[in-house]
Amino acid sequence: MTHYHFKVTKKWLSRLREITARHAAQGTYTVLKHAAIASGAKSANSVEEALLARLATRRSWRRLDDRTFSFKLRSVEVAITVDHPFNATRFFLDITAAEIRVACARAQGDEMEQLQQAGRDELRRLFARDGIPWSEVS
């Protein structure tokens, strides 16, 4: 049996976390976009309802009340509250940020901010690819 040994470097770990951040953005975008399309929603309210219902059924997410959701992985948990009035861009950003904070919980300070930026950049790219307007949110 052959055993492979490799050294986990800070650079390698940082790159792995960046891939995780981009993957969180892609997963969020894909699942929720398909939920909105599948709902056949004709109005903004029905799109909002379809997205909130889909988030409540995603693995590791649970609905705490009408507009508050919790994401838990291992022992790390993050809660988000969905804005009213609903802002789809903010919704996608909040979900992606929560998933990155939980998945990359050991990242600190500047590294966490870089991971959050990688997630935002990936979402922006996906919105542009599909011709969906990106509204900058604070």
**Residue 74 to residue 82: CA distance in whole angstroms:** 23
30-51: per-residue pLDDT in tens? 888 877 777 676 677 788 888 8
- For residue 36, what pLDDT is reported? 73
- Rounded to two decimals, what is the model's pTM? 0.79
- Tokens representing 69 are 């959701």
Q: Is 132 exposed, middle or buried (0-12, 13-18, 19+ CB in 10 A)?
A: middle
Alpha-carbon dihedral angle through residues 92, 138, 130, 125, given to the nearest 10 degrees: -90
Instruction: List the domain boundaries for the chain.
Output: 16-129
The segments of the chain whose pLDDT lies below 50 read 138
